[in-house]
Amino acid sequence: MTLITGILKFVRRERVLTAIIAVVVILPLLVFALITPVKTGTETVCKYKHLIDDGTYTKWVFRWNAGSYNVDVKESTCQKHKYLERLWAKEKAAKKKGDYKKAASILQTIKVTDPSFPGLNKEIADVGVLAGGSSPGSQPGGTPSNPPPAEDQPPGYSGDLNGLFPSSLAGYTQISSSSSGLNASRLYQSNVAVHPKVSLLTIQLDQAGSEAEAGEFINTQIKTYYAADQRTPQINGQTAFFGTDSQKLAVLAYKVGGVVVMLEMQSTGGAPKDLYGDLVELSKDVP
């Protein structure tokens, strides 16, 4: 008896069992021949070429429908690079005013956070050349400075700037940090359930040197950039500065020794001047 004859006899004798075997063995092969896996969904990619969010997934579809599925790539800007873009704009403003020391300090902060930031190395070189050509003891715009003798100035802060940051902030999650010696910054994501008006928080510390220089920094750098909605609250017994860019950002700046403390909040959508109370309250947790 040949193998084929034996199979035929088995099929005639065990028709139900044969049908079950056919289903178990042949059906999966048939299904596999008809369907195929495809990747679909949405990827959110930062314009600085890294993945922000992978919302893709695998789906099994009929082979003739596979061409209808694809991955939708959406370009955005991540929170870290939004922060760096704001620093980049501030660096350009400082460079335009001739404050190359401040520009170089900002560039160092950017480099620590993202060494591959577009145009960074060229800008560092350009500012280095310009700083080398500026006269010592000059202020932004080339105006000679005549600081009072060192013994007449209150002593500046000589410790590590990172030691001035609060260990934690209720309702905020730290998402990045940078430090270059002369300045340090931390970026926080707000829990909108706790701080409904706040999207992002940046705490920036700049070592200005002395109390007088810290005050000059606030007057020449911060007040000109946040020129709208200005107010002068009392923080830790001294006059601080509050202002906005009239769009999304509000800042509260004050001095601690020779250090400039700048608290910057980004609004979730309301007027930035409405962040005044949030910033003053936050200052109680930041030295």
Segment 244-277, tens digit of pLDDT: 988 889 999 998 878 889 999 999 989 999 999 9
**Residue 19 included in any domain:** no
Q: Is the pLDDT of residue 127 over 60?
A: yes
Q: Do 54 and 107 have their domain in common? A: no
pLDDT tens digit sequence for 220-243: 878 888 889 999 999 888 899 999
Q: Do 129 and 228 have their domain in common? A: no
Report pLDDT for 142: 41
Report pLDDT for 283: 92
Average pLDDT for 150-171: 68
Report pLDDT for 105: 82
User: Which of 144, 174, 199 corresponds to the end of one domain?
Assistant: 144
Alpha carbon 4 to chain centroid, angstroms = 71
Alpha carbon 264 to chain centroid, angstroms = 13
Q: Do 111 and 224 have their domain in common? A: no
**Residue 27 included in any domain:** no
Q: Is the pLDDT of residue 137 over 50?
A: no
Q: Do 107 and 220 have their domain in common? A: no
**Residue 2 included in any domain:** no
Neighbours of 200 (CB within 10 A): 21
Q: Which residue has the higher pLDDT, 38 or 13?
A: 38
Average pLDDT for 161-184: 84
Q: Is the pLDDT of residue 187 over 80?
A: yes
Q: Do 284 and 208 have their domain in common? A: yes
Q: Do 234 and 281 have their domain in common? A: yes
Report pLDDT for 253: 94
Q: Do 222 and 259 have their domain in common? A: yes
Report pLDDT for 221: 78
User: Which of 102, 121, 144 corresponds to the end of one domain?
Assistant: 144
CATH of residue 222: 3.40.1000
When divided into structural domains, the chain yields a total of 3
Q: Is the pLDDT of residue 80 over 90?
A: no
**Residue 30 included in any domain:** no
**Residue 110 included in any domain:** yes
Kindly state the DSSP code that residue 122 receives in the 8-state scheme: H
Q: Do 69 and 178 have their domain in common? A: no
DSSP state letters, 72-110:
EEEEE--HHHHHHHHHHHHHHHHHHTT-HHHHHHHHHHH
Q: Do 60 and 108 have their domain in common? A: no
Q: What percent of the chain is modeled with pLDDT above 70?
A: 79
pLDDT classification of 140: cutoffs 50, 70, 90: very low
**Residue 262 included in any domain:** yes
**What are the residues whose beta carbons fall under 8 Å from the beta carbon of 271, sequence distance 6 or more?**
244
**Residue 279 included in any domain:** yes
**Residue 282 included in any domain:** yes
Identify which of 136, 130, 133, 71 has the alpha carbon closest to the alpha carbon of residue 103: 130
Task: Give the domain extent around 280.
Answer: 159-287
Q: Do 201 and 280 have their domain in common? A: yes
pLDDT classification of 3: cutoffs 50, 70, 90: low
**Hey, what amino acid is at 2?**
T
- Is residue 267 within 8 A of residue 195, CB to CB? The reply is no
Report pLDDT for 203: 92
Report pLDDT for 14: 67
